[in-house]
Amino acid sequence: MNIVLLGAPGAGKGTQAAIVSQRLGLPHIASGDLFRQALEEKSELGLLAKSYMEKGALVPDEITVQMILQRISASDCDSGCIFDGFPRTVGQAEALGKALTDQGKAIDKVIYIKVAEGELLKRLSGRWLCRKCQTPYHTVSSPPRVPGKCDKCGGDLYQRPDDTEETVKERLKVYFAQTTPLLDYYRRENKLAEVNGKLGIEAVAEQIINALEPGGRIE
């Protein structure tokens, strides 16, 4: 099963992808995490991506698509995967669709996690992430048991440099201009299911799991 989680910055894509990935036993493929990992390794890809990420802009499609297609060619994606943060433009969606069709596969469902803008700002300003395993925490809604340490692996928590107010506003602008057209794109393909992302983390996960059931809701 190939599943796409769509939503604005801070909508909870990473949080939900981790839950769904564990429940369905499918790998979690997060384009942002792959770029941040490349940056940590100081690779050419990472340094290139940095110049876009720090401004809140999208990394160009050809670079992003190549990185993702390479990642999903690994054997752990043979039975499918959960895409988080990809695709983000119609061009990326078309490239992914074509690559999957060539392998006799397809995107099975696209889950749109809908959250109001004011809530997104609150979520991103309070977010902390594990440097080792990328698990997200929030100072109010999901604090770690030990401040500054990841519950799962004990790694150090940090705040993303693109979670500043100014960059978040730019990321939201980019999302509305370049990513929201994907809602109609996947609606036309009869693959879009919308969930209410304002509810608590577990309640959102339940809506997603229900939408993924055979015959689950489609918009």
Residues annotated as part of the active site: 13, 88, 127, 160, 171
What is the contact mask toward ligand AP5 in residues 117 to 146, using x (rule: CB under 6 A)? ------xx-xx--------xxx--xx----
Binding residue for ligand AP5 (CB under 6 A) from 2, 4, 15, 19? Answer: 15
Nearer to ligand AP5 (CB atom), residue 7 or residue 80:
7
Does 200 sit near ligand AP5 (CB under 6 A)? yes
Nearer to ligand AP5 (CB atom), residue 159 or residue 217:
159
Residue type, 178: Q
User: Which of 211, 46, 45 minimizes the C-alpha distance to 114?
Assistant: 211
Considering only 11-19, 37-45, 93-101, 147-155, which stretch makes contact with ligand AP5 by CB under 6 A?
Answer: 11-19
User: What is the rounded CA–CA span in Å between residue 78 and residue 145?
Assistant: 36
Does 88 sit near ligand AP5 (CB under 6 A)? yes
Burial 207-216 (b: 16+ CB within 10 A, else e): bbeebbeeee
In the complex, least distance from residue 215 CB atom to ligand AP5, rounded to whole angstroms: 25
In the complex, least distance from residue 107 CB atom to ligand AP5, rounded to whole angstroms: 14
Does 21 sit near ligand AP5 (CB under 6 A)? no
Structure tokens at 17: 């992808």
Binding residue for ligand AP5 (CB under 6 A) from 2, 3, 6, 12? Answer: 12
Nearer to ligand AP5 (CB atom), residue 13 or residue 191:
13
User: Which of 159, 162, 129 minimizes the C-alpha distance to 144?
Assistant: 129
In the complex, least distance from residue 41 CB atom to ligand AP5, rounded to whole angstroms: 16
Which positions lie near ligand AP5, rule CB under 6 A? 7, 9-15, 31-32, 35, 52-53, 56-59, 64, 85-86, 88, 92, 123-124, 126-127, 136-138, 141-142, 171, 197, 200-201, 204
